[in-house]
């Protein structure tokens, strides 16, 4: 419990690829909880690719992070100095604390997690930031059904790895797209996808045609955008659903993004492309978490991820690992 806790603030907006110098470390005083408040010692920080978008001063689904302010982040921490009736000292809580070592909270939007059911990294990942978008994107937005051919890009990534596993559990054919033989091996051997396409060494379009034949792709869970989105669009099945969850190939682009030239296939195949925000499904989170805890308990869902030990200063390098394609599964910075 630091006497002079630190925080990481956005110092400047990136011009193309982001750098460590876009953030600055700062010290803050320990806040004094009022009635109905408490402190949280942050222990785990969720590192996710969407954070790249929050650095931009562009209209998006969340307001841009403000220059000079603490950068937003989700994570897990431990309650202390509680003056709140429902949060006791020592409780583990999952919420949006920002990149800070100590947070003041009224409890709003926080979930008390049970470390006996799953460790903090599983609550952040499969039961939180990564599992919930995978679950609702695939099953609600993508309306996936048993027998569907499901393609997932960034399949070795945090969200993609869960999406493909849920597709398998729900009786679909899961085909992953990932970069490099090691990630492809992970996707098939450890996550149980039926097949994986290495976009760095194979033609995604040709391999999809081989793998899905005349039928094509019923559900595409897109985390990347760019060329791969076009490669999948040209292989859609009739009535296909394209779920827009991310566009990691485009986030570092300065100027105009690359749009999907093959969007016309939406007409050819009577298909739809749809975006979503997981918070729209918040009322269904408890039921989804219960179902996923069962899958984790019976071994059908593997909570894949990577925990990096470090301090706040290590956050930019951790985020860079995702954009360099260096990580597998959910990345968490443990303070």
Contacts of residue 265, defined as CB under 8 A and 6 or more positions apart, other chains included, come to 233, 234, 236, 271
**C-alpha span between 153 and 162 (Å, rounded):** 11
CB of 105 to its own copies, least distance (A): 28
**Residue 275 touching its own copies (CB under 8 A):** yes
Which CB sits closer to its own copies, 140 or 202?
140
- Binding segment (CB under 8 A) for its own copies, from list 31-39, 110-118, 186-194, 241-249: 241-249
The label of the residue with tokens 């709003």 reads 108
State how far the alpha carbon of 67 is from the alpha carbons of 12, 104, 223, in Å.
Answer: 6, 21, 27
Strands of the chain (E only): list them.
6-10, 23-27, 38-47, 74-80, 92-96, 102-105, 111-112, 149-153, 173-178, 195-198, 217-222, 236-244, 272-275, 305-309, 330-334
Task: Please select the residue that binds its own copies; options are 16, 59, 85, 299, rule is CB under 8 A.
Answer: 59
Burial (0-12, 13-18, 19+ Cβ within 10 Å), 61: exposed
> Would you count residue 282 as binding its own copies (CB under 8 A)?
no
By CB under 8 A, tell whether 152 contacts its own copies: no
Among 138, 162, 271, 319, binds its own copies (CB under 8 A): 271
60 is a contact residue toward its own copies (CB under 8 A):
yes
Residues 6+ apart with CB under 8 A from 118: 126, 127, 293, 296, 303
Encoding tokens for residue 19? Answer: 């750098």
CB of 190 to its own copies, least distance (A): 29
CB of 245 to its own copies, least distance (A): 8
Rounded to an integer, what distance in angstroms lies between the CA atom of residue 40 and that of residue 287?
26
Q: Which of 251, 308, 259 is nearest to 45 (CA)?
A: 308
Is 19 strand, coil or helix? Answer: coil
Q: Is 244 in the site for its own copies (CB under 8 A)?
A: yes
DSSP letters, 211-255, are HHTTT-EEEEEESS-HHHHHHHHTTEEEEEEEEE---TTTTT--S
Asked if residue 255 lies in contact with residue 245, where contact means CB atoms within 8 angstroms, the answer is: no
Residue number with CB closer to its own copies (91 or 231): 231
User: Which of 61, 66, 282, 286 is the binder for its own copies (CB under 8 A)?
Assistant: 61
Nearer to its own copies, 148 or 230 (CB): 230
Q: Which is nearer to its own copies, 261 or 287 (CB)?
A: 261
Minimum gap (Å) between residue 147 Cβ and its own copies = 21
* 206 interacts with its own copies by CB under 8 A: no
The verdict on 34 binding its own copies (CB under 8 A) reads no
- Out of 40, 65, 245, 296, the residue judged to bind its own copies by CB under 8 A: 245
Residues touching its own copies, count (CB under 8 A): 32
Q: Does 247 bind its own copies (CB under 8 A)?
A: yes
268 makes contact with its own copies (CB under 8 A) = yes
Q: Is 260 in the site for its own copies (CB under 8 A)?
A: yes
Instruction: Check residue 164 for interaction with its own copies (CB under 8 A).
Output: no
- Please tell me whether residue 264 binds its own copies under the rule CB under 8 A: yes
Binding positions for its own copies, rule: CB under 8 A: 59-61, 225, 230, 244-245, 247, 250, 256-277, 280
């Amino acid at each position: 419990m630091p006497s002079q806790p630190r925080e990481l603030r956005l110092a400047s907006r990136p011009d193309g690829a982001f750098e460590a110098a876009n953030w600055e470390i700062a010290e803050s005083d320990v806040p004094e909880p009022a009635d109905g408040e408490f402190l949280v010692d942050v222990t785990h920080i969720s590192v996710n690719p969407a954070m790249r978008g929050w650095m931009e001063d562009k209209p998006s689904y969340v307001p841009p992070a403000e220059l000079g302010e603490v950068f937003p982040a989700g994570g897990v921490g431990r309650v202390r100095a509680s003056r709140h009736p429902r949060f006791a000292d020592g409780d583990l809580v999952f919420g949006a604390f920002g990149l800070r070592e100590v947070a003041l909270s009224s409890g709003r939007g926080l979930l008390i997690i049970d470390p006996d059911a799953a460790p903090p990294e599983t609550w952040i990942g499969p039961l939180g930031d990564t599992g919930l978008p995978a679950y609702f994107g695939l099953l609600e937005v993508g309306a996936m059904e048993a027998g569907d051919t499901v393609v997932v890009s960034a399949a070795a990534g945090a969200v993609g790895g869960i999406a493909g596993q849920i597709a398998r559990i729900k009786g679909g054919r899961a085909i992953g797209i990932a970069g490099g033989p090691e990630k492809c091996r992970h996707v098939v051997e450890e996550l149980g996808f039926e097949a994986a396409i290495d976009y760095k060494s194979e033609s995604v379009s040709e391999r999809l045609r081989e793998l899905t034949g005349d039928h094509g792709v019923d559900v595409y869970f897109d985390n990347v955008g760019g060329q791969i989105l076009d490669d999948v669009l040209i292989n859609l099945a009739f009535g296909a659903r394209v779920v827009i969850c991310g566009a990691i190939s485009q986030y570092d682009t300065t100027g105009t993004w690359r749009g999907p030239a093959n969007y016309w296939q939406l007409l050819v195949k009577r298909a739809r492309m749809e975006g979503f925000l997981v918070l729209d499904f918040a009322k269904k989170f408890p039921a989804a978490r219960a179902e996923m805890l069962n899958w984790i308990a019976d071994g059908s869902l593997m909570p894949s991820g990577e925990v990096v030990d470090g301090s706040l200063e290590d956050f930019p390098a951790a985020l860079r690992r995702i954009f360099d394609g260096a990580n597998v599964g959910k990345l968490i910075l443990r303070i």
